[in-house]
Structure 1
Amino acid sequence: MAPGGDSAEAGQALAKQTVFLFGRAQGLTRRRLDQLVRLRGGKLSSKPSTRVTVIAVGHSATSHVLADGRVRLPVGLPASAILISEKELRRRLGLLGPPPDVDRSLASAEIERLAGLTPTLVACLALFDVLEPVEARFAYRDVVAAREVGRLLTRGIDLGQILGASVTLGRRGSHLAEARLTEGPSGELVRELGGQLAELSGQLTMRLEQDVRGIDELVAAAELAEEDNDLATAESLYTTAMRADAGDPVLPFNLGNVFDAQGRAAEAKIAWQIAVARDPAFAEAWYNLAMAAEDEAHEDLAIAEYRRAVQAQPEFADAHYNLALLLTKLDRCEEALAAWERFLELAPKSGQASTARRAAALCRMRIRQKQAQTG
């Protein structure tokens, strides 16, 4: 199956769509992804299935790209399914804004001609967000990036390695159109900066971060070990994965959960703190930190961290519930009432809804009593 599609379909609803994620999406746990897809009326498929209608290709899937730009997808996926990039998935989930509003007057054929690339290669570059077309139209920066890809391919650099370098640059806030790459002494791609060789991060050292290929398999094995309660193996695998990918917050988050399951609370908190340092909008990690603070009777810290969780993920019903419960216990009823009402908006039919309604009524009564006392 060849990659295809671009941002023309950005913003289309995922309602009634069955989504399969191939690879990993940076910073998104499977639970979070499932919640977001369901919130938008779709369904997340955990396995390849003929019912899949949208295949999202994560940036980590570069090792599955063939030299001609085709992507080796798992067996069992229908040829009719739409292929979208990781950025496109984030846009459809409401996690990322639209592409920059710049002049896009170039057609795919012009990109192919100017960069010496085939249509399949151009489609592959769009699938991995090296290029960012809108309605099949490309910007000048896309020309620059495509030419850089063409230059590297003519030098014999593997396409998967080029895509991996582009992903790394993107995570560092840069772009392939802004960097001139070359092959380092060990065969890795490095940047040329002022006549010196540097890592993709810009550090003037010779070694690039480890290749992303193989990490997916490592993480899958770690998750399986965690599910099987083989916590020692899961810990070892997640630790190795963290060394291989220094940016993904899901890895320290999962490692923290493994520590927590082993009763190693202090190490769990450190791992979750690493997760939010990597991604300050990682709601689930803030939620776990808040619960840990609450367990240690650090109520103000717990409240602040619950608020960080719901700020990052406004529809995070469990975080609203725990925040409301803690505020009620502390007799901060006006704040608690707002949190209870928000929880009931999000989960009116949940098992906790009756408790929330009673607590909200209690808060209203206490507020009225305080108002009466103060005249």
Structure 2
Amino acid sequence: MTSVAGTTFGIVGPLAAFPRRLAAREVERQHGHLRSGVTRRTSHVVFGRKLLERDSEARIEERLEAECGAGRRPVSENGFLRLLGLLQAPESPSVDRQALLDQSGLSERELALLSLFDAFEHDNEPYSFRDLILARKYAGLIAGGAGWSTIARSVHRSSGPVTSLTALSLEAEGREAIYARMGERLSELDGQLLLPMDRADDAELEELFQLAEEAEAEERHEEAAALYERCLSIDPGDAVAAFNRANNLGAVGRSEEARRAYLLALKLDPSFVEAWFNLANLSKAAGRPHAARECLREAIRLDDAYEDAVYNLAALEFEAGNLAEARSWWARYLELDDRSEWARNAAKGVQFVDLQLAKRSAG
């Protein structure tokens, strides 16, 4: 909670979430000041949500620009409550403002205004991954012709938390109407549309997984790992999310966390061949060749035509001085692949081992 002692708040427009007199009492209790309207001493301006019903978009935008130009900090209703310690902050956020803008398609102005009227889980940066999902939905609605104020009004007609909207397919019908599609039917956001939590989680999970895959493809590995972790918090049994998270953790050098993530993937799905293979590579890099060999053997037991696992096991056996074992695995590799560069290396390995074994026999 941030101390408001000595801070002077002004309110623009009626509050929707709580009575003004209660807010004034709490501000005074914390040795701050709350005034109707804005004076020269005002440092923070709270924008009441009922402005959305009273003023036009253009008028609200002009007022926001004026207050910011005067050096005052605009505050949403939820942001005001958080400053007073009356509303608990949501889960730890990790998406900065620029990342949200880049990945959603919203403009700076749209993000500022939607945040100001609590259309997100957080009222300011850093945002959450749920906020990113919402931002993408809002950008789609705006592209479809909806105004930002229409979105903000619609959000607050829903009786559930704003994050419930991550589970809905939202559509714009002109500039002044937002609907949720339920099959072939369009309905207003009136609370009856909120889906059961398990279905909401499913919808959110799909969005998060897509965001994670995009981040991974763009080599934003830290972000991808965090997104896959969020997927696991929704579906703890998702072995693929655990595996993908491990890959991204490994890519940024967080090897021990990656190892634990691979082990989780294998606990969830012991037949996950790729997880055994990648865990082998991680173990070898960490100087644990014996563990790497065991992982590769398990991968081959599950899929005896897994060329990469066969080749790597041959190389590990060779490095350990187990020449007969190495030759056996290289020979097996050549049964699977006899044309690639790796096949030529395997053939050279077989020839080298034969030569060494012949020397031993001759000696």
- TM class by smaller structure: 0.3 to 0.5
Q: TM-score, normalised by structure 2?
A: 0.46
The structure whose RCO (Cα within 8 Å, separation 6+) is larger is 1
Over alpha carbons, which structure has the higher Rg?
Answer: 2
Q: TM-score, normalised by structure 1?
A: 0.45
